[in-house]
């Protein structure tokens, strides 16, 4: 079982980065839930202040999208289930500066390049018997965009987070999600992230793996 969690930080210079507000709570709760179900868990964590849950969890800390990509590439072939709950940065500075950018420098434009879409990469590597779950964070055309990501990234399931739902999203202890598979959609009520992780872990094992529908 491989889970990614938290944000990634893309360095601009030694003291600044591009990042996002992901707390890692959902991914860490998922790691705990799967561990409690008996899975051997590898948790690839971006820079977060979360404590590793107890039990059979191998935590690998990474900073950037590139480092996360390297770990997923390495671990995915030995994995039955990958859940990408990390909020991976889509763009990284083209040329991170070795020295701190000074105020007096004539620095006005930050040039960016796209990071690798790690989930799409895993979709391409996927072998029969492997299950791939992604998250989608949307603010508009939510269902349509999430379904598109399900197909394009070759996922078995996508978990749609809507930033329009109060109590859902970054930083909170609760989340409200819609689970979308190839031929099923479930709107779940607001739950704590711990409760949600347990229900989601059971859903993945029972509905995606044991009795695929």
Which active-site residues does the annotation give?
A: 20
Query: Is 86 a residue that touches ligand CTP (CB under 6 A)?
Result: yes
Is residue 142 part of the contact set for ligand CTP (CB under 6 A)? Answer: no
Question: Does residue number 204 form part of the binding site for ligand CTP (CB under 6 A)?
Answer: no
Beta carbons of 190 and 178 less than 8 angstroms apart: no
Q: Is 76 in the site for ligand CTP (CB under 6 A)?
A: no
Q: Which of 6, 19, 123, 134 binds ligand CTP (CB under 6 A)?
A: 134
Q: Does 165 bind ligand CTP (CB under 6 A)?
A: no
Q: How far is the CB of 135 from ligand CTP (least distance, A)?
A: 4
Q: Is 117 in the site for ligand CTP (CB under 6 A)?
A: yes
The window from 37-45, 111-119, 171-179, 200-208 that contacts ligand CTP (CB under 6 A) reads: 111-119
């Amino acid at each position: 079982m491989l889970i990614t969690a938290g944000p990634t930080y893309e360095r601009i210079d030694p003291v600044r980065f591009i990042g996002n507000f992901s707390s890692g709570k959902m991914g860490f709760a998922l790691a705990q839930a799967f561990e409690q179900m008996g899975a051997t868990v590898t948790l690839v964590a971006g820079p977060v202040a979360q404590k590793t849950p107890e039990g059979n969890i191998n935590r690998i800390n990474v900073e950037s999208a590139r480092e996360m990509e390297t770990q997923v590439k390495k671990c995915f072939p030995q994995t039955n289930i990958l859940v990408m709950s990390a909020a991976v940065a889509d763009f990284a500075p083209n040329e991170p500066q070795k020295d701190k950018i000074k105020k007096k420098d004539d620095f006005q434009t930050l040039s960016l390049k796209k990071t690798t879409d790690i989930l799409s990469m895993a979709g391409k590597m996927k072998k029969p018997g492997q299950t791939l779950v992604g998250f989608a964070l949307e603010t508009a055309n939510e269902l349509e965009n999430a379904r598109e990501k399900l197909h394009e990234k070759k996922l078995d399931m996508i978990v749609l987070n809507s930033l329009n739902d109060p109590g859902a999203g970054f930083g909170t202890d609760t989340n409200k999600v819609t689970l979308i598979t190839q031929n099923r959609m479930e709107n779940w009520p607001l739950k704590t992230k711990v409760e949600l992780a347990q229900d989601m872990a059971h859903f993945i094992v029972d509905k995606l793996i044991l009795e695929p529908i």
